[in-house]
Amino acid sequence: MTPDSDALLPPYDGIKMADVRLVKTERDAAEALAALSAMDVIGFDTESKPTFLKGEASTGPHLVQLATDEAAYLFQIGAAPALEVLKAVLESRAILKVGFGLQDDLKRLRAKLGIDACNVLDLSTALRKGERNTLGAKTAVARFFGQKLQKSKKITTTNWALPRLSEKQLLYAADDAHVALKIYRRWRTDQAAANAHS
C-alpha cells in the first residue's frame, strides 16, 4: 500500500466516549475487574508523559488502557484502586493481552509499578508477513479494515500526567487499546477462515 493510496481510505470510526470508562473509585475498579476478568483476550496500551530533553528519563506510565470488546477502561496511575486491578489483570495467565509496540510499556510497568505482565502478544511483530519492520496500528487498520486510523501527533505528545485529561486524550488512549483488540479478533477470524479453506 503506497502512502498515496492511504489518503483515500475512509476514516476508522473509533470507540465512542460513552464506552470509555475512567476508573476513579473503588466501585469503578470493581466493575473494571469484573468486565476484564471475564475476557479471554483484551486490548492493552499505556501512555506516558513525553520527554523532550536528551537523557531525560520517562516517569511513565501515567495512563494504562485495557479494552474489552464493548468498552475501554482507563487507569490513571496514582489513583489508588487502579493498581490492584491492573496487577490482577496484567499478571493473569488466563487473559491474553494484545497491543502494538509493547516492549517499553512492559518495562515501565515493571519499573514503576512492580507489575510483571504475562501472556502478552505484541501485534507489531505477530502480524508481520515477512516484512522487515514491525507493524503499527495504523498499517494494521489499513490492512484489516481498509480504513485510515487518525493519529494526531499533537495528542500523542500531550501531557498524560495531568490529573484531568481532555476528552480528546481519553478517546485517543481508549482507541489505542480497543483497536488492538479489534485487529486481533479480525486476524484470528481471517486465520481460521484461511485454515478452513486449506
Going along the chain from its start, the domains and CATH numbers come out as: 3-124+132-189 (3.30.420.10)
High-pLDDT (> 90) share of the chain, %: 71
Assign 12 to helix, strand or coil: coil
For the beta sheet containing 41-47, the strands, ordered from the edge strand earlier in sequence to the opposite edge, are: 20-23, 72-76, 63-67, 41-47, 96-99, 120-122
pLDDT of residue 5: 56
CA-to-CA distance for 14 and 114, rounded, in angstroms?
Answer: 31
What letters, b where the CB count within 10 A reaches 16 and e where it falls short, cover 161-174? beeebeeebbbbbb
Instruction: Please report the pLDDT score of residue 1 as a whole number.
Output: 46
Average pLDDT score over residue span 139-143? 93
Q: 50: helix, coil or strand? A: coil
| CA torsion, ordered 59, 179, 163, 86, to nearest 10 deg | -70
Beta strands in the chain (DSSP E): 20-23, 41-47, 63-67, 72-76, 96-99, 120-122
pLDDT value, residue 181: 98
- Quick one: which of 143, 38, 59, 57 has its CA closest to 100? 143
Tens of pLDDT along 2-33?
444 556 899 999 999 999 999 999 999 999 99
Per-chain mean pLDDT for the chain: 90
126 pLDDT band, cuts 50/70/90, is: very high
Instruction: Note the pLDDT tens digit of each residue in 71-93.
Output: 999 999 975 668 889 999 999 99
* CB-count exposure of residue 37 (10 Å: 0-12, 13-18, 19+): middle
Q: SS3 of 141, please?
A: helix
- What whole-number distance in Å separates Cα of residue 160 and Cα of residue 50? 8
**DSSP-derived 3-state class of residue 168:** helix
pTM comes to 0.91
Using alpha carbons, select from 97, 108, 120 the residue that is nearest to residue 57: 108
**190 against 153, higher pLDDT:** 190
